[in-house]
Amino acid sequence: MSNITGAYAHERNENLDEYLKAIGVPYVGRKMMSFSSPRLEISKNEDKWTIRSISVGRTLEMTFALGVEYEESMPSGDKLKNVTTIEGDSLVTNSVAPNGSLITRRYDFTPETAVLFRS
């Protein structure tokens, strides 16, 4: 298994627009987020994990324990109900959007990179 904790430069997003649309982000917000290049920082303190997405003017942070449901506040003000697990070299977050749809984010790690996939 690759080391998941660390700092990562933005390389690319997969299915970002579809993911943002599924959680209800308006068109203009989706386009703005698509052009950002956030830095990703992942840390672990005992059983608590923290993922920070840092971009110009905004830092989003979520802290959670693996396998335990938690809420995530979206920039739109909506809240997602999430459960995050580790699957191989990936952190996988399964979310329930305010409209009831199920959405998955997967962070895949190698020793050098992290790639975020959304479906």
> What average pLDDT does this structure show over 2-15?
75
Span 46-99, pLDDT tens digits: 999 999 988 777 788 999 999 999 999 876 788 889 999 999 889 999 999 888
Residue 89 lies in a domain: yes
Domain contains 90: yes
Count Cα atoms within 13 angstroms, Cβ side, for 47: 4
Asked whether residue 34 is assigned to any structural domain, the reply reads yes
Assigned domain for 10 exists? yes
Flag whether 1 is in a domain. Answer: no
CATH of the domain at 83: 2.40.128.20
The verdict on residue 81 lying in a domain is: yes
Structural domain harbouring 45: 6-118
Q: What is the mean pLDDT of the chain?
A: 82
**Predicted TM-score of the model (pTM):** 0.77
Indicate whether 50 belongs to any domain. Answer: yes
Q: Concatenated DSSP letters for 29-80?
A: HHHHHHT---EEEEEEETTEEEEEEEETTEEEEEEEETTS-EEEE-TTS-EE
pLDDT over 90 percentage in the chain: 34
Supply the pLDDT for residue 42: 93
Q: What is the number of domains present in the chain?
A: 1
Q: What pLDDT sits at residue 86?
A: 94
